[in-house]
Structure 1
Amino acid sequence: MSRHNKLSRVSALTTFTLFCLPACSARSIDIPRKICDTPVAQNLAAPLLKSTGKLSEWHTAGWGEKGRSVCIVSVDRSEALRLRFSWHTDTIDPMKYSSLDNSVTGLWEPRRIHRLAESATLGDNGSIATTHCAGKWNFTLALKVTRDRKIVHQRKAIENFMRAYMPATMKAVGCTHP
């Protein structure tokens, strides 16, 4: 192969790379300003949704009413986050529901966390927080990161998200932060 042909191929590859990479690279998702109807800073949600593709939400029937409801955030039809919102009259210990043998909200390496709600736990793959609201009602929020079950040690990103998301959700549903 002549030197001219080699230079032409290198030049063509360089031109392709310069023009195609920005357009041909994987598209990143647009992080919403609200997750499950609650405003949250995009920089707090981004680490939990780290991926590419189209973002969507699915809510159970009765969304926003007292009782239990679920909101699932998906990226390209793959579940990334599962949030459970629960209104109840009894008080609960989030540590009981954080146990890994709890199939619904089991967390990896759960520990109690303070100054998030009246009672809260934090794990490597989620968090559960509960607090008293007006009258006889208590409110519990359980977050589970389900995007990639092999990825662990997201504790700091989950804590940062929950420290903003729980108070914002409590405000939206009419509870006051302790």
Structure 2
Amino acid sequence: MHEFTRVDRDESVSAPCVLLSGPDPSLEFQFSWDEFATDLMAQATGNGTVSRVNQPRRSDLAAKAVVGTDGAIATTRCKTKRGKYFTLTLQLPQVKLMDQSHRKDIEKFMRAYFPATVRTLGCS
């Protein structure tokens, strides 16, 4: 397993981070800093691939969050150099579109990972 990342937490630079198992991506993250709160449902169901999550449902894992069958998006107030909100997108590219079996595990992972990540950002 190895990691490819362009994320710079100190500079709050929005970028992807991909964990690879051999040549294949296992987990894909998008770290984003924005001036305004994001409409997560629109982001999850939009045409873009950076934040697309299949069959998203709202979750209480963060101030705003959605969890789908193949990923999740969460956002919270986090004032840094680049914005007032931090959004983290998790995607599992290997999950098949109709596979419902990972939703609970994705939410459980994000309940731990998202707040731990936010604590490393130096939000004010």
TM-score range with shorter-chain normalisation? 0.7 to 0.9
Partner of residue 76, structure 2: 131
SS in 2 for 1:134: strand
- Kindly state the Cα deviation for residue 167 of structure 1 after the two structures are TM-superposed: 0.4
Higher helix share: 1
Distance 1:100 1:125, change over 3 A: farther
**Residue type at the aligned position of 1:129:** A
Partner of residue 161, structure 1: 109
Whichever residue aligns with residue 89 of structure 1, its letter is E
TM-score by length of 1: 0.62
Equivalent residue number for residue 40 of structure 1: none
User: Which sections of structure 2, spanning at least 5 residues, go unmatched?
Assistant: none
2:54/2:97 contact within 8 Å kept: no
Gapped regions of structure 1 (runs ≥ 5) = 1-54
8 Å CA contact 1:80–1:148 kept in 2: the answer is no
Question: Within the alignment, does 1:77 sit opposite 2:37 as a pair?
Answer: no
Matches within 5 A, 1:19-168: 55-60=1-6, 63-64=8-9, 65-99=11-45, 101-114=47-60, 116-134=61-79, 137-149=84-96, 152-153=99-100, 154-168=102-116
Identity over aligned pairs, percent: 34
Q: Shift of residue 84 of structure 1?
A: 0.5
Give the Å deviation of 1:163.
Answer: 0.2
8 Å contact kept, 2:4–2:19: yes
User: Where in structure 1 do 4 or more consecutive aligned residues deviate above 4 Å?
Assistant: none
| Counterpart Cα distance in 2 of 1:82 and 1:103 | 11
Does the Cα contact within 8 Å between 2:66 and 2:73 map onto a contact in 1? yes
Matching residue's letter, 1:107: V
The amino acid that maps onto 2:27 is: L
8 A Cα contact 1:100 1:108, kept in partner:
no
CA drift of 1:88 comes to 1.1
> Which structure is higher in RCO with an 8 Å CA cutoff and minimum separation 6?
2
Greater CA radius of gyration, 1 or 2?
Answer: 1
CA distance, structure 2, for counterparts of residue 159 and residue 127 of structure 1: 7
SS at match of 1:58: strand
Task: Say what the alpha-carbon RMSD is for the aligned residues.
Answer: 1.9
Q: 1:67–1:88: 8 Å Cα contact kept in structure 2?
A: no
**Superposed displacement of residue 175, structure 1:** 3.6
